[in-house]
């Protein structure tokens, strides 16, 4: 994203980046020093504690407000890149920047830190990200570390404590328009999405979502579901549904849901029980799938499903700063 200060007629596409890790790793690979700007306290405002921007000499990604402070944060971040000194910026109530107003009111505190491309914390964060392990980044502004969250206690004087969860994944079982819409919307919002469909037509899907055509159990084993994996089953066939649901519910996926009539729920649960699942495993099933918004069309159902997955994930862990 260009570092030019946003103005009338410019779209704030940098704000579509919520997780700056891909940009961080790309910038580090290019050997470029960068700055991280992290919200460490917030009273009001559209973004929570832990929201971040990544700033280089020429670009920035992420957003911390509705466009009120990003250009100023980038300006101070480039000063931090130049002199290596951390900075605490305050906007809104009590801010020295009287010319920068927060229309939403409140107060935002932002910590700036310079990060060198070969910093060990970047290496450790990349390793944990690739291993799909939750990571905790701690920094005093000049020195930082990154370890698996929960393994070590964060530094008591850390100015920044930021948790990074593994990226959300979505596995959709099925080939009909509902399955395609759910997978397509998941992919569109940036989730790592795959279709599980042993019975799928040959060739690419219309939405270019990758397809695994192995048996359900084999496909699930290959993606190794974890708490940040959602599985949405939409075959409209009780037997096929059960073939997918048994390994899904017995595994570690954070979300498992099935598309179908509420009238069939008792029959579905009986079949899962007969297949050997415990009651606690069966109780994990979201059925019928999706938030109750009266969805009817495939894209409406997809919206309801994606929203339910987000709500379920937020109820378990926010993924923001510790």
Q: Which of 24-28, 48-52, 92-96, 150-154 has the highest mean pLDDT?
A: 24-28
Least confident among 5-14, 23-32, 187-196: 5-14
pLDDT interval class at 321 (50, 70, 90): very low
Residues 95-111 have a mean pLDDT of 73
pLDDT interval class at 318 (50, 70, 90): low
Q: What is the pLDDT of residue 45?
A: 74
**In this structure, are residues 174 and 152 in contact, taking their beta carbons and an 8 Å threshold?**
no
The percentage of residues in the chain with a pLDDT greater than 70, rounded to a whole number, is 89
Query: pLDDT tens for residues 118-139?
Result: 999 999 999 999 999 999 999 9
Query: pLDDT tens for residues 266-293?
Result: 999 999 999 999 999 999 999 999 999 9
> How far apart, in whole angstroms, are the C-alpha atoms of residue 229 and residue 4?
37
Please, where in the chain does CATH 3.40.50.720 lie?
169-316
Q: What is the pLDDT of residue 3?
A: 45
- Per-residue exposure over 295-306, b if at least 16 CB sit within 10 Å of its own CB, e if not: beebbebbbbbb
Q: Of 251, 247, 285, whose CA–CA distance to 265 is shortest?
A: 285
Residues 7-24 have a mean pLDDT of 83
Residues 92-117 have a mean pLDDT of 79
**In this structure, are residues 277 and 246 in contact, taking their beta carbons and an 8 Å threshold?**
yes
Q: Is 3.40.50.720 the CATH classification of the domain at 169-316?
A: yes
Assess whether pLDDT exceeds 90 at residue 166.
yes
Q: What is the pLDDT of residue 257?
A: 97
């Amino acid at each position: 994203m260009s570092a030019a200060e946003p103005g009338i007629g410019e779209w704030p596409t940098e704000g579509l980046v919520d997780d700056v890790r891909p940009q961080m790793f790309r910038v580090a690979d290019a050997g470029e020093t960068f700055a991280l700007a992290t919200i460490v306290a917030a009273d009001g405002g559209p973004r929570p504690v832990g929201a971040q921007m990544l700033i280089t000499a020429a670009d920035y990604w992420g957003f911390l407000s509705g466009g009120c402070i990003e250009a100023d944060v980038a300006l101070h971040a480039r000063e931090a890149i130049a002199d290596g000194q951390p900075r605490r910026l305050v906007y809104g109530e009590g801010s020295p920047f009287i010319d920068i107003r927060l229309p939403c009111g409140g107060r935002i505190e932002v910590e700036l830190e310079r990060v060198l491309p070969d910093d060990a914390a970047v290496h450790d964060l990349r390793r944990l990200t690739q291993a799909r392990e939750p990571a905790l980044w701690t920094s005093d502004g000049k020195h930082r570390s990154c370890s698996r969250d929960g393994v070590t206690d964060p530094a008591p004087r850390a100015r920044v404590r930021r948790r990074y969860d593994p990226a959300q994944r979505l596995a959709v079982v099925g080939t009909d328009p509902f399955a395609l819409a759910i997978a397509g919307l998941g992919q569109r919002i940036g989730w790592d999405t795959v279709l599980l469909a042993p019975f799928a037509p040959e060739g690419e899907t219309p939405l270019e979502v990758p397809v695994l055509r192995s048996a359900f159990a084999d496909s699930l084993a290959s993606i190794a579901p974890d708490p940040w994996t959602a599985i949405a089953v939409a075959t409209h066939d009780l037997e096929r549904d059960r073939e997918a649901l048994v390994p899904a519910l017995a595994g570690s996926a954070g979300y498992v849901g099935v598309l179908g009539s509420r009238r069939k729920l008792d029959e579905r649960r009986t079949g899962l029980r007969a297949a050997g699942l415990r009651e606690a495993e069966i109780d994990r099933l979201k059925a019928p799938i999706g938030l109750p918004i009266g969805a009817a069309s495939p894209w409406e159902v997809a919206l309801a499903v994606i929203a339910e997955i987000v709500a379920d994930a937020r109820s378990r862990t926010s993924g923001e700063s510790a």
